[in-house]
Amino acid sequence: MKFELLNEWRGLERIHADEVSEICRSELRFSRAVPLAVERTTLAIGAFRPPVILVHGFAQNRYTWRISERSMSGYLAAAGFDVYNLELRGHGNSRAYGAGNARAFAEYVDDLVEIVNQLDQPPFVIGHSLGGAVAVGAATRVPLAGLIPIAGVFRFATQNPTLRALARISLRASPILEAGPVRMSTGWAGRLLGQLYGLTDIAGYGLPLAGWVPGSLERHLLEERLALGFDWTSVEVWLQMCRWALGEPFEYQEAFSKQDLPLFVIAGDSDPLLHAEDARSCYEASNATDKRFVVFDAFDHGHHFGHLDLILGQHAPDIVWPQIREWLVARS
């Protein structure tokens, strides 16, 4: 593998509640045309199951998958997997290493393909939100062991009039927005939402852009996730998402429909940012003989789940994570 080891940490990681695991976390840099940051997590004694690549969503970063008292990356590592937490160009440490913003969504797919090609065997890929779309794109170009989109974009905003209206406004302004290299920061929004926790948590009931179900994340952990996990991104990628919202087909859809790749599509019942029906479109388009679609909801699972809740919500470790682990183990 062509990763440069920058730092390494060994110790106990808080997985969830009282559960801890002794892990090794390495800060890696992959440098070719674009320098990319990868955070590798394994058991301290080493991995004994295949690699899993985690891909964050729009304007997010590595903290999609772990915060101080809840770590999905640590959970998968504790199950024996070799976990690679990728930060796409323009995000997190990849930006710090000099990787500028993407000029098109396809460049995110290029980033994931580069990392897949450095591994000794086809990995599983888990993508959240826009990261799900990145994973689907990569699946059409390189061999994967399996794919798990979590609230993953395949269709976008078909059930959310507010998002479509925002998309129309953005596209009308595109001549101005595309006049120069414009970067978008969501970090200020994350910090503001954290500071206004009481208001934003209550407003989450029925709010068309709500990212979590009110009360689903403990206040201090939600504030941490919002402060650390909101990042920079490029206006070009947002405008591409706007075109999807207004009916332009996802460019990898046809090629993906020809893949026979194990697929586990996950959605939340209370997620206006990626409605369950939009998530279902990935499942329906797939030609896989081994595919599964689950909507985590209050009826079957005892709790409502929003966009962030599926990964770091207080009920995710007991309800969502085990199903992901079991699916991966069965196909390892």
DSSP sequence for 303-323 = S---TTHHHHSTTHHHHHHHH
Q: In degrees rounded to 5, what are phi and psi of residue 222?
A: -65, -45
Q: Give the SS3 label for residue 299.
A: helix
Cα 306 to Cα 73, 163, 221, 272, 273, distances in angstroms: 19, 16, 15, 8, 8
Q: What is the CA radius of gyration of the chain?
A: 18
CA–CA gap between residue 115 and residue 150 (Å, rounded): 20
CA–CA gap between residue 283 and residue 279 (Å, rounded): 7
CATH number of the domain enclosing 264: 3.40.50.1820
Domain count, the chain: 1
The residue among 151, 161, 148, 126 whose CA lies nearest residue 270 is 151
Contact 17, 317 (CB under 8 A): yes
CA–CA gap between residue 261 and residue 286 (Å, rounded): 8
Angle (nearest 5°) at CA 193 between 69 and 131: 65
Q: What pLDDT tens digit does each residue of the chain (332 aa) get?
A: 589 999 999 999 999 999 999 999 999 999 988 999 999 999 999 999 999 999 999 999 999 999 999 999 999 999 999 999 999 999 999 999 999 999 999 999 999 999 999 999 999 999 999 999 999 999 999 999 999 999 999 999 999 999 999 999 999 999 887 766 555 565 455 555 555 555 555 555 556 678 889 889 898 898 889 889 989 888 999 999 999 999 999 999 999 999 999 999 999 999 999 999 999 999 999 999 999 999 999 999 999 999 999 999 999 999 999 999 999 999 99
Instruction: Give the range of the structural domain holding residue 137, as residue numbers without chain letter.
Output: 3-330
Is this model's pTM higher than 0.85 or not?
A: yes
